[in-house]
Structure 1
Amino acid sequence: MTTKAITNAAYEWVDERLGISDLITFGKHKTVPVHSQTFWYYWGGISLFLFLVQCLTGVLLLVYYRPGAEAYESVRQITYVMHFGWLIRSAHSWSANLMIFAILVHMFSVYFMKAYRSPREFGWFSGMALLGIAAVFGFSGYLLPMDELAYFATKVGLQIPAAIPVVGPAIANMLRGGTEVGEFTVQRFFALHVVVLPAIFLPLLGFHLWLVQKWGNAAPPSIEALPKEERKTMPFLPTFLRKDLAMWLISLNVIALLASLFPWPLGKPIDPLAPAPAGIHPEWYFMSPFEMLKLLGNVLPGAIGEIGGLLLFTVGILLWVLIPFYDPNSSSGRRGRNAHYFGLVAVFALLATTIIGYWTIR
């Protein structure tokens, strides 16, 4: 019996039980729109790839990381003692930031292509939930090295939930495991980072990917307005998948270059009695709400300014998430234009407050 015959027999045995040929047939019949904005379709796949890098590098770090009082020492050993530990940690940190950036780009491309319209509303809602969880992933993971920068930045970041009226201080104390950031905070953030969030994120990601396969990629309104025979498409298998994998390869090279040339630093050990070092601030994806709290705090007195900034940001997020109900279909012309302008205002406000936040750091 030849090797080819053995391979064919094995494939037929697996295919009979798993239906691989049905998936291949589905992939060949599935098409992806081709137009001047097709490039933006790849950002969803890039986000998925970066999440897979997070999972792989996170498992490797988990082997040596010790939460609690020994958190800093374990990260120091990973960074300076373990073979290639610095590379794995740098790849994990860089891919985390790149993943949130890729999800944001994907979200804005979906928004401006009106891909939240019927029947894709649940794809929009699940995508927004994934972005929120990814941000919490970043916030919880930032503290785990428990160095000086992570310690004080987490204290600053917890000011945002603490500003919520009535329940805010209780939420902040629950996250900290007390009134101060310490080893109990690390343990809670570690459990949140490696158990709770993945348990929520993974099924939600599966649901989101299923919706994408069910409804396909949405084309911009200008393309959907064309007669069906004038719209260009390409098959998902192998054309789009091959290009998508090429984007994954480019992303892997970007991570490798950043991790190699700019290794993620480990700061000084914590000295709670020492003053906070200059330039402490939240991570870049939390800078906008933090700056809104600060700006309104300078205009309005005390807690009123903080609550006003938090309320303003919360209302903006709710309007953003609920946009499918305001602009449900292509027939809502005026609403569609208003939604487009609202998107431009949101982009400008996000960039402006982030830039101001970094500009005023001292």
Structure 2
Amino acid sequence: MNKNITRIALTGGPCAGKTTALAQIIEHFSDLGYLVYALPETPTLFNNASINFATPDRQYFYNIEKAVLKYQIQMEDTFLELAHAASHPVLIISDRGTMDISNYVERTMWQAMLDELSLSEVKVRDARYDAVIHMVTAAQGAEEFYTLETNSFRGETIEEARDLDARILKAWTGHPQLHIVENNVDFQVKIRQVLDAIHETLGDDPATFSDIRRRFLVHVTGEIPYGVETDLYQAYLDQEDGSSIRIRKRGLRGNYVYFMTRKSPVESQPIITERQIGPDEYVSYLNSIGSLDEVLVHKLRRSFVWAKQYFEVDDFIEPRRDYQILEISCAPDLEIKFPPFIEVIKEITGDPLYVRL
């Protein structure tokens, strides 16, 4: 069964450039030998089938949105099953993902929908996609290019597009691999950043893309204005061949997803691969560890967006630390706009003293 499968949700506000990005993703990664499954935007399919999203009937509207969510999940699961049977590496790109649907319904309605379908927000957000790429609407920073002429389904003003873009980004905040692609004077630079984010997710040589994972020792000196909290439990296991394995459980209040990351023993150019695992495999790895007290780390992660940058700050619950660690994916030479409530002690990117924290 093919296990070389990567799932990406491509999202963002209106007129963000998703259609162009999808075309270039297909061409670029097909040339590299991937089977690329580009899944269409589900609400557009429903709209083309004459579904009236503007209905005043609240119960009917609830059933429409529930059907959209069910269809989205079924479509993604169907193509995932097909990918397992493929003989080549597969890249599955969803034009919008499950959490996008939450932006078009009231919060109580969204929670009722999850309850009815026996879903949790943690798993709907974090477990279905290896990465989420949010392309910022042209209405934010490239207003002269904002147009809805290519999509008769949409009708947002610039102000409405900005608001929707912010709500979509908020819905995805907390995903472990959320990439924010802002507008640039050169639209091709924006597309390149999308391709770079996918290369990073695939674990490709960093020389092939611009962003790296930068880490800092920090103190949080004030309240984070909005942040999604996630419990993280992680441990490292050294293998006989010199490679290392990290197992991680992440979630909140009993809803968890599990991951295993393997790093090759080649220090000059290590190969890093990650896959989702089941709770039984996670427990099996834990059982192979001698003393959990020495290697299992429990952190509380707070994920938030500031100045269109995606930050993750870890507080150490057990064992305790007198500092926090902040992480951000960005270009090595980028000047990071740290929030005023973050006091930076020093950068620790690549520092072996902190690599397993």
TM range (shorter): under 0.3
Return the TM-score normalized by structure 1: 0.23
- Please give the TM-score of this superposition, normalised by the length of structure 2: 0.23
* Larger strand fraction of residues: 2
Rg: which structure is higher?
Answer: 1
